[in-house]
Amino acid sequence: MRILVVEDEKGISNFLKDGLEEESFAVDVAADGKKGLELSFVNEYDLILLDWMIPGISGIEVCRQIRKTNSSVPIIFLTAKDTVSDTVFGLESGANDYIKKPFRFEELLARIRVQLRTKDGEQNILKLANVEMNLDTHRVFADSKEIMLTQKEFSLLEFLIRNKEKVCTRTKIIEHVWDMHFDSDTSVIDVYINFLRKKLDDGSGKSFIQTIRGVGYIAREK
């Protein structure tokens, strides 16, 4: 899952990036509204964290611009403003949620998950074949046995299961699992897919992650 953080305070964007990356999100940071808009148009994000008061184009304006393009990407406002009218104003401009600074990081995570869940209509527990993954606790089970995954493996698996029964192209995988600093060598995906297949192997010799040659991968019930 790839998140765009639009925040001018370096201190805040720093810990957001660190914390979210540890939670297996790919995170891009924009320090002003203009840059934020640019990135949101160029890349496909699963969620945008938007500060209200940023230099250049304001957070509200960024939100409106994004919504104008018919994008339904979930947007959460981060702001120090806290009056009811501010909240209403923020939500009316197209934001999905609103979190007041200073916030608890855990609360932000929970809200991000709620947005991602409502987007897909899913629970925080994803299931496919013999695999069950809990997004809150970050634990993965195969045939009820806990499997230890790295962050990248976890986020790749999450992306594939969220898009189960759909072909995930290499580009899409790169866009949603890796951040913008990733160089475009997509062979790294194959490496991680192999890791996943090995760790989640049920002994049947056939993985639920299947290769679509020349296109990408698909996760489906066997």
Partner 1 sequence: MQLNLRNRISFFYLVSTGILFGLVFFVIYFSVRETVYRHMDEDLDAESNEIEKNLVVINDRFVIANAFEWNEREHGQIEVNPVFVQVVDTSGKLVKKTGNLLNGKLSFNPSLKNQIYFNTSLSGAQVRQLQLPIKNPVGTALGYIIVAMPLDESADVLLNLLIILESTYWMVLFVLFYVTRFIAGKSISPINKVISTAERITKENLGERIELPAHKDEIYKLTSTINELLNRLEDAVLREKQFTSDASHELRTPLSIIKGTLEVLIRKSRSVEQYESKINYCIREVDRMSSIVEQLLMLARYESGKVVPVINKLNLNEAVESVLTRLNLLLEEKKIKVNYNQTENISVAADYSMLGVILENLISNAIKYSPEEKQIDINVSSAGSNVVCEIKDYGIGISSDQVGKVFDRFYRADESRNSGITGNGLGLAIVKKLADLQNLTIMITSEESKGTSIQITFPS
Amino acid at 15: F
User: Which one-letter DSSP state was computed for residue 82?
Assistant: -
Taking the least distance from each CB to partner 1, the nearer of 135 and 160 is 135
Cβ-based nearer residue to partner 1, 16 or 209: 16
Is 105 among the residues that bind partner 1 (CB under 8 A)?
A: yes
Question: Closer to partner 1 at the Cβ: 85 or 184?
Answer: 85
Could you say whether residue 106 binds partner 1 (CB under 8 A)? yes
Task: Answer yes or no: are the C-beta atoms of 177 and 156 closer than 8 Å.
Answer: yes
Span 62-101, contacts to partner 1 by CB under 8 A: 80-82, 101
Contact indicator for 4, 40 with CB cutoff of 8 Å? yes
**CA–CA distance, 206 with 53 (Å, rounded to integer):** 52
* DSSP structural state of residue 74: -
Neighbours of 97 (CB within 10 A): 18
Nearest CB to partner 1, comparing residues 68 and 104: 104
* Residues whose CB is less than 8 angstroms from the CB of residue 53 and which lie 6 or more positions away in sequence, other chains included: 8, 59, 79, 80, 81
- Residue type for position 81: K
Decide: helix, strand or coil at residue 14: helix
Among 36, 37, 41, 55, binds partner 1 (CB under 8 A): 55
Q: Which of residues 115-134 bind partner 1 (CB under 8 A)?
A: none
CB of 204 to partner 1, least distance (A): 34
For residue 18, the minimal CB distance to partner 1 (Å) is: 5
CB of 26 to partner 1, least distance (A): 16
Told to check if 138 binds partner 1 by CB under 8 A, we report: no
- Which residue, 7 or 46, has its beta carbon nearer to partner 1? 7
Q: Structure tokens of 191?
A: 């490496």
Site residues (vs partner 1, CB under 8 A): 8-9, 11-12, 14-16, 18-19, 22, 32, 53, 55, 80-82, 101-106
